[in-house]
A and B are shown apart, each in its own frame.
Chain A
Amino acid sequence: MEGLERIVKEHPFFAGMQNAFCDLVCGCARNVRFEAGQYLFHEGEPADWFYLLRHGRVALQVAVPGRGAVTFQTMAEGEIVGLSWLIPPYRWTYDAKAIGLTRAIAMDAKCLREKCEADHDLGYEMMKRFMPVLIQRLQATRLQILDVYGTPA
């Protein structure tokens, strides 16, 4: 457990978080690893876990008829895989597949949602940490759909 606590605290997503909050969060955390090609989750499944990557790379994919699994984003060490656990109906809207050996902290989403509901200070702390991630993803997506390289540099 001590090792897991250290790992959680060291992850950039939780950098500088109060110890009391860390203890609560750690109660929902678990160490996991995925081999290359293994799926972290599939589209449509309940978003029961999300992942803080510690090592490796994960491809976020959507199956497109006639084109197979199209990767629209890859996530790397220090980043988060899975945001749908935050908002109802808590279901994944894409597949997440390990590209190479991947180590991560898996967070029990239901456990964390319940703790946030019971302790709004923790809930607010989590929101403050998740909102920038959401905004960054939104901005990156906006840039991606602009297809800027289609016009002369």
Chain B
Amino acid sequence: MTAAITAADPMVPRVARVLRRRRNGPQVFTLDVEPEDPAPAFAPGQFSMLTAFGVGEAPISASGDPAEPGRLVYTIRAVGPVSSALTRLGPGDLLGLRGPFGMGWPMVEAPGRDVVIVAGGLGLAPLRPALYRLLAERARYGKIVLLYGARGPADILFRNEIESWRRRLDIDIAVTVDHAPPDWRGHVGVVTRLIARADFDPLHAVALVCGPEVMMRFAIAGLGEAGLADDAIYLSMERNMKCAVVFCGHCQFGTVFVCRDGPVFRYDRVRSLLAVKEI
């Protein structure tokens, strides 16, 4: 007998209301949303399934502060029908919300070690909750290093926040862009080049990596060259998925379901998965 899907099932979205919408860059918007019933707690790195009513559903990572109750924050880039519809929502509009789902960043393994965060493009969004947590419990960690690469200065996410983190002096931050106009005075070049310049103890560090897959492969190679072991590297594999609750098999690879066992994986456990072009 197969189990019936009831209203209490994780396939049924709860209704949430948009509180605020901010533009972060070309086609990228951050929505603060409040579910009609209390907002579920989430762990850094987890994602939700967001529904744009009448259009469809998409997995989107939580990008807000896990310690802030009552609201959930999502940073979305408009790339197709669902994400575009979501980014057009404004204050008061309704959307559907399932989750949070999945395994997040290794917040339990990180204390006592240096933490190196390598983010590319929109990849900073799923890492921001981890940064909030790390900074809220700053004394529990060794060095915290944030290496962030974006396409150009206009694409840098959460700019004001990065600047305020810089002022704290207890986190090393380097930002680089691939393409720069003449007035840009920061780094130019790919984010992976920042790894060799960063100061951390590779034998006592964990790395959290998120960005386009090609960038993550290069970052993993760079972290390896810097002396980090494969089992100290965690990455978020944002492969396409549908149900998010291990029903449909859309994101299945062998025995691994990205929606349940990921999206954050320890690199040594998914080395072979990274080599697969499509799942």
Contact = CB atoms under 8 A, between A and B. Distances in A.
Interface in A107-142: 136, 139-140
Given A71-B180, A148-B214, A140 B193 contact: yes
Given A70-B182, A73-B188, A74-B188, A143 B218 contact: yes
Given A71-B182, A71-B184, A153-B123, A143 B197 contact: no
Contacts of B176: 74
A153 B190 contact: no
A145 to B, nearest CB: 9
B210 interface: yes
Contacts of A59: 188
A76 B190 contact: no
Nearest to A141: B190
Interface residues of A, number: 28
B150 interface: yes
B210 A153 contact: yes
Contacts of B214: 143, 146, 148
B151 interface: yes
Interface in B166-182: 176, 178, 180, 182
Given A147-B151, A147-B178, A148-B214, A140 B120 contact: no
Nearest to B150: A149
A59 B189 CA distance: 10
A78 interface: yes
Contacts of B125: 153
A139 B218 contact: yes
A140 B190 contact: yes
Contacts of B189: 72-74, 140, 144
B277 interface: no
Contacts of A152: 77, 79, 83, 122, 212
A68 interface: yes
A115 to B, nearest CB: 28
A73 B177 CA distance: 9
B211 interface: yes
A48 interface: no
A70 to B, nearest CB: 7
Contacts of B218: 139, 143
Contacts of A71: 180, 182, 184, 188
B212 A149 contact: yes
A5 interface: no
12 contacts: A68-B182, A71-B182, A72-B189, A74-B187, A147-B178, A148-B120, A148-B121, A148-B215, A149-B121, A149-B149, A149-B215, A153-B212
Given A78-B197, A152-B77, 20 more contacts: A59-B188, A70-B180, A70-B182, A72-B188, A74-B186, A74-B187, A76-B187, A136-B193, A143-B190, A144-B178, A144-B189, A146-B214, A148-B120, A148-B121, A149-B150, A149-B151, A149-B178, A152-B212, A153-B77, A153-B238
